[in-house]
Amino acid sequence: MKQTFGYKAKARQFFVVLLPIFITQLSLMATGFFNTVMAGHISQQDLAGVAVGVNLFMPFFGSFLGIISGLTPTISQLYGADKAYKIGFIVKQGFYWALALGAGFVALGWLTVPYILPFLHLEPRVEYITSHYLMFLSIGIMPIFVSSVLRNFIDAHGYTRLTMCVTMCTVPTNIMLNYIFMYGLCGMPAYGGIGAGIGSAITLTLNLLLNIIVVTTLKPFKDYHVFRHLPGIDLVEWKKQLGVGIPIGATMFCEQSIFGAVGLFMTAYGTVIVAAHQAAMNFTTIVYMIPLAVSMTLTILVGFEAGAKRLTDAQQYIRLSRYLTFFSVGGIALLLTQFREEIAAFYTTSSEVQPILAGFLVYAVFMQFADSINAPLQGALRGFKDVHVTFMLAVLSFWIIGLPVGWGLARFTELGPYGYWLGLIAGVIIGAICLEIRLRQVQKKFRFTVKQ
């Protein structure tokens, strides 16, 4: 990355950073997409089993990775302030606390999942698929947590094309392995939905190996020698990094857990509703990759400009992001309304699931418009390392307003399961309004600090 002058140069650098991130995120989501489609074409039970497993797994997994992502604004600001000599030490400490987080995550899953599943009153086959899917998936947790440290290290320097290349290698491998284990090819038994957990665990380990190759062989990363002369544990540095990372992870947990909670509430409506809801959320998540990629790009670029004390440049990047997300997501949403029945047919062959899924996809359109406003604001605030208030706003908008509204609409109106979608949309919109107010406050404070 480098300092740019004018919107044209900024747009060029913005897209240089953005496009690899977008392709990376889309590729990662492609794994979940194909898992859902493959499970849906095996049986409703396999689709529902994988769906429940994902809804239990992703909120905690995403939040733990969110804690590690706190490294991105820290490294990006140091890079922008020409303090690269501090980066190697921070990355090495990141290995330690990422491994500690990974161990805690695996232990949490093994201790709690056997007690949670009986309370969901799932069909016996669905419960079996869910538990074993999560069991095999947990094998890949420690590798992907260390890999996440390396990925944030690479992305914070603006070399997002490298992480894109790593992902482009691992995703096709993951899809192929999942297909082998789910359908029983190459002499392997057909594990159904459980096979998705086996294939994903192998791929997460491969991801770590490829990232290690990148940072030990390519400049400028090999010059940091992040695997040489590992220092002792520095709890003071842990406190600094976790002070940024934990609020980010907690914010992600608030966002992802509400979607997971809604997915679990859907179990009260039966396997057909669960399958339709999961397929709709899967498609929505794929479209969300655009605002998410913009958010991640803003964290890097705003962090770089904030480290160099260039507020005007940071504001110009934020303006670019607003136009990009709104028009791109708006175009996709309009296409979605025209082809929702075809999309539903692609996800499942069940005549029971298809019409319900098509109905959920209508609500997904409004969800995407709200996300196109919300996500870039979060990325900008993280670039300024303003993360604590963002977390409190996430609690307010999603858990204090969004989920209760959805539950009330589902329970006391004829909307039924569709009421939860309206609650989610309301939460995202309210969150966007609060984040916009907060961003203006942060920019005003930053301008005052720079003048002093």
* pLDDT tens digits along 215-255: 899 888 888 888 888 888 888 888 888 888 888 888 777 77
Counting residues of the chain whose pLDDT is more than 90, the rounded percentage is 2
Q: Does the residue 199 lie in any domain?
A: yes
> Comparing 104-118, 129-143, 171-185, 255-269, which segment has the lowest mean pLDDT?
255-269
C-alpha to C-alpha distance for 356 and 337, rounded to whole angstroms: 14
Residue whose structure tokens are 């201790």: 111
Per-residue model confidence (pLDDT) at position 436: 87
Tell me whether residue 361 is in a domain.
yes
First to last CA, the chain: 27
Confidence band for 28, pLDDT divided at 50, 70 and 90: low
Question: Is position 101 within any domain?
Answer: yes
Q: Is the pLDDT of residue 452 over 60?
A: no
> What's residue 32's pLDDT?
63
What is the pLDDT, as a whole number, of residue 175? 84
When pLDDT is averaged across residues 294-303 and rounded to a whole number, the result is 82
**What is the C-alpha to C-alpha distance for residues 394 and 374, in angstroms, rounded to an integer?**
11
Q: For residue 362, how many C-alpha atoms fall within 13 Å in the half-sphere facing its CB?
A: 8
pLDDT at position 210, please? 92
The counts of H helices and E strands in the chain are: 17, 0
pLDDT exceeds cutoff 70 at 445: yes
Q: Is residue 286 part of a domain?
A: yes
Distances (CA, A) of 411 to 165, 169, 218, 219, 360: 47, 45, 56, 57, 17
Mean pLDDT over residues 129-147, rounded? 88
Q: What is the pLDDT of residue 316?
A: 81
Residue predicted with more confidence, 217 or 383: 217
Please state, as a whole number, how many other Cβ atoms lie within 10 Å of the Cβ of residue 448. 9
- pLDDT of amino acid 209: 92
Provide the pLDDT for residue 276.
79
pLDDT greater than 80 at residue 424:
yes
254 in a structural domain: yes
Give the integer Cα–Cα distance in Å for 280 and 343: 9
pLDDT: which is higher, 95 or 325: 95
Q: pLDDT at position 109, please?
A: 86
Query: Does residue 64 lie in a domain region?
Result: yes
81-134: pLDDT as tens digits = 777 778 888 888 888 888 998 898 899 888 888 888 888 777 888 888 888 888
- From the list 358, 372, 179, the residue with the least C-alpha distance to 279 is 358
> Which is more confident, 194 or 449?
194
**pLDDT of amino acid 15:** 79
Alpha helical stretches, state H, 266-352: 271-287, 289-307, 311-338, 340-347
Residues contacting residue 213 through CB under 8 Å, at least 6 positions apart = none
Q: Which letter does DSSP use for residue 82 in this model?
A: T
Q: 121 Cβ partners below 8 Å, 6+ apart? A: 267
- Please report the pLDDT score of residue 335 as a whole number: 74
CA 284 to chain CA centroid, Å, is 13
- For residue 30, the enclosing domain spans 6-451
Asked, for residue 388, whether it belongs to a domain, the answer is yes
- Total domains in the chain come to 1
Element (H, E) at 157: none
Quote the pLDDT of residue 30: 64
**Can you tell me the mean pLDDT for 400-407?**
87
Q: What is the mean pLDDT of the chain?
A: 80
**74/444 Cα distance (integer angstroms):** 21
More reliable by pLDDT, 241 or 59: 241
CA 133 from centroid of its chain's CA atoms: 20
Q: What is the pLDDT of residue 213?
A: 92
Split at pLDDT 50, 70, 90, the class of 373 is: confident
Residue 1 lies in a domain: no
pLDDT tens digits, 334-372: 777 777 677 777 666 677 777 778 777 777 778 777 877
Contact of 197 with 134, CB cutoff 8 Å: yes
Check whether 187 has a pLDDT greater than 80.
Answer: no
For residue 114, CA distances in Å to 56, 60, 118, 135, 261 come to: 12, 16, 7, 10, 18
What local confidence, expressed as pLDDT, does residue 212 receive?
92
Residue 197 has pLDDT above 80, yes or no: yes
